[in-house]
Amino acid sequence: MKRHSLYPDIKPYREEMLQVSALHRIYFEECGNPNGKPVIMIHGGPGGGISPTMRRLHDPSVYRIILFDQRGCGRSTPHAELRENTTWDLVADMERLRTHLGVEKWQVFGGSWGSTLGLAYAQTHPERVSELVLRGIFMARRFEIDWLYSNGASIIYPDRFEAYQLHIPEAERGDMVAAYYRRLTDPNPQVQIEAARRWARWEGSAISLLPDPEREAAFGQDHFAIAFARIECHYFQNRGFFDTDDQLLRLADRIRHIPGVIIHGRYDMCTPFINAWHLKKVWPEADLRIVEDAGHAVSEPGITHELVEATRRFANIH
């Protein structure tokens, strides 16, 4: 069977800033069909910001495609800000945006951290979600954070992990997230940026099954890296701001009536496949799609195919 590919590149027909608190303004844009089926696109990270590729996973003649930069990243302001920046602030921002745009219900589409925030939003506002399309499942549990940042993926990528690890003195390596958090919140901007580059490059190097030097270099660019690393580390240091380690699994009953697709690469080194397996166990109605020749990245052909297949299915495109 021929695999689906991305839809052609499109430009937004609307770009605005929305004031969501006295401190924060978030950037949002709309693409595709203004009268189409609404979908909210949730980017990864946290702190990653939206990308043009995110506009290309839905048929623009059918969908009203809504994208936004979460607090502190992308074009949202203030840049790399950690104050008033929690999972529940972002859930509230999504509701503000939905109300602002006059949307009754929307498809919630997110990958990696976007799947975390998508689940948190859907469990808080299930009546506002028409479908869930989730990729590269991440639920901010302790072992998931430790896997990438402490002692898991380093077994597979010791050559890439080394620069990230060596930035931290051996005496502090028992808790790498805490060690990086101290540096990423240091009063000295140079201490922050050097830690941010190491953090972001490491993650960028582990995303796809095959190496992508261009992505790794892009992750290491200062403007991206400082927001990405500071905000990610802030969230992970605070365990995603969840009450319990298994909160998103424990509250899965709230979303079991929502049509959903779970898409995960078998060889995902950022968010291990066991995450998707655990979610499927508590949400048996969801359609789990295992991509046998992929890691974590949207750009991998098998992942792209399954995402587009899901958006076509929910739009009744045959």
Would residue 79 show up in a list of annotated catalytic residues for this protein?
no
Main-chain dihedrals φ then ψ at residue 253, nearest 5 degrees: -55, -25
Supply φ then ψ for residue 8, to 5 degrees: -60, 155
Q: Does 205 qualify as catalytic in the annotation?
A: no
Instruction: Output the DSSP codes for 236-301.
Output: HHTGGG-SSTTHHHHTGGGGTTS-EEEEEETT-SSS-THHHHHHHHH-TTSEEEEETT--S-TTSH
Which of the following is catalytic: 112, 115, 205, 208?
Answer: 112
The one catalytic residue among 43, 234, 278, 296: 296
Identify whether 69 is a catalytic site residue: no
User: What distances in angstroms separate CA 76 from CA 16, 71, 124, one per listed residue?
Assistant: 10, 6, 24
Among 205, 268, 278, 305, the active-site one is: 268
| Structure tokens, 198 | 């190491």
**How many CA atoms does the CB half-sphere of 70 hold within 13 Å?**
30
Q: In what order do the strands lie in the sheet with 37-42?
A: 14-19, 25-32, 63-68, 37-42, 106-111, 129-135, 260-265, 287-291
Peptide bond into 12 cis (omega under 30): no
Residues labelled as active-site residues: 112, 268, 296
